Amino acid sequence: MSFESIIGHNNIKNQISKSINLDKLSHAHLLVGEDGIGKSILARNIGFKILGKNKDMQYVDLVEWHIEKSKSTIGVNSIRTLIEEINKKPYEGDKKVIIIYEADKMTTQAQNAFLKTIEEPPKNVTILLLCENLEVILDTIKSRCQIHKLKSLTVDEMEKFLKINHPSLSLEETKVIVAFSDGIPGRAEKFLFDNNFKNIRNITLEILLKLSKVGTEELMKYEKKLSDQKENFKEILTAFLSYIRDTIIYKEIEEENIIINIDKLLSIKELANIFSFNKLNGIINIINDTRENLDRNVNPGLTFQVMLLKMQEV
């Protein structure tokens, strides 16, 4: 894959390309975005472009630095080893690129130890730090980097991504995957190959269908199923919202060809008969409140329990 053929992130690609062509590229960059959005692919291809390479392969002067196995943070000792590597002269040419994955896992001490190198790296060394959580990066680090925030891909870009990488998908399958991906290519890949996401779709739909039919005790059995998937809470809430969105659309205009979950059409029709518009909008508000609570790291089990109770009472 060439730098230019990467789908999405056009502003960043254009900015980087222009800076490289004018020989004005900053020596340190922070690439920020959700897991699966394409930071790694973009960083590697920036590296290839800096080094003047055309093939996607391993190069001695493209150093990819990962968190050590069995460790949850990047500590000072690891950073000192990295600094030694950065200070080694390029091997193949006159440039060197360092990609640091999960840079937001650096401890405060490690970031402070890395500060001088970020500020004044050796000549012709470019450092790319990849992270999800910009808030934990020290201001002193951020002020010395050019920051690039990767945005979710548009619907058209996601459809293009799936067409190129998974050409055998039907239009119906593509619609569902695009809806669940939230513009994150990596999430689309998980949806395709991880059965957890199929389970999430089935569980969330089952909950909506049973909300008005079962008692509280039986409904609470679903709390454990949701909690078991707590690491995928964004996908859980997206699944709920996609069904609610489809139900509202079907109730309003009964137009089947714009239903996202077209493979669940019979269930969408059933939901349209079960819920009023007021109840559907109430559930949307509950799901949005749940997302805020989970983003704040409120206990997932308790959060899902409260969500289910409120959804049944709405």
Residues of the chain with CATH 1.20.272: 194-313
Task: Quick: pLDDT tens for 212-266.
Answer: 888 888 888 888 888 888 888 888 898 999 999 999 999 998 888 788 888 899 9
Task: Quick: pLDDT tens for 135-180.
Answer: 999 999 999 999 999 999 999 999 999 999 999 998 888 888 888 8
CATH fit for domain 194-313, picks 1.20.272, 1.10.10, 3.40.1350, 1.10.3470: 1.20.272
User: Which residues in the chain belong to E strands, given as ranges?
Assistant: 28-32, 62-65, 96-100, 125-131, 146-149
Distances in whole angstroms, Cα of residue 305 to Cα of each of 202, 207, 238, 286, 300: 18, 12, 17, 12, 8
Residue 258: the pLDDT is 83
Query: pTM of the full predicted structure?
Result: 0.79
Mapped onto helix, strand or coil, the DSSP state of residue 96 is: strand
Report d(CA 58, CA 138) in Å as an integer: 31
Of 35, 34, 59, the closest CA to residue 46 belongs to 59
In terms of CATH architecture, what is 10-149? 3-Layer(aba) Sandwich (3.40)
Residues of the chain with CATH 3.40.50.300: 10-149
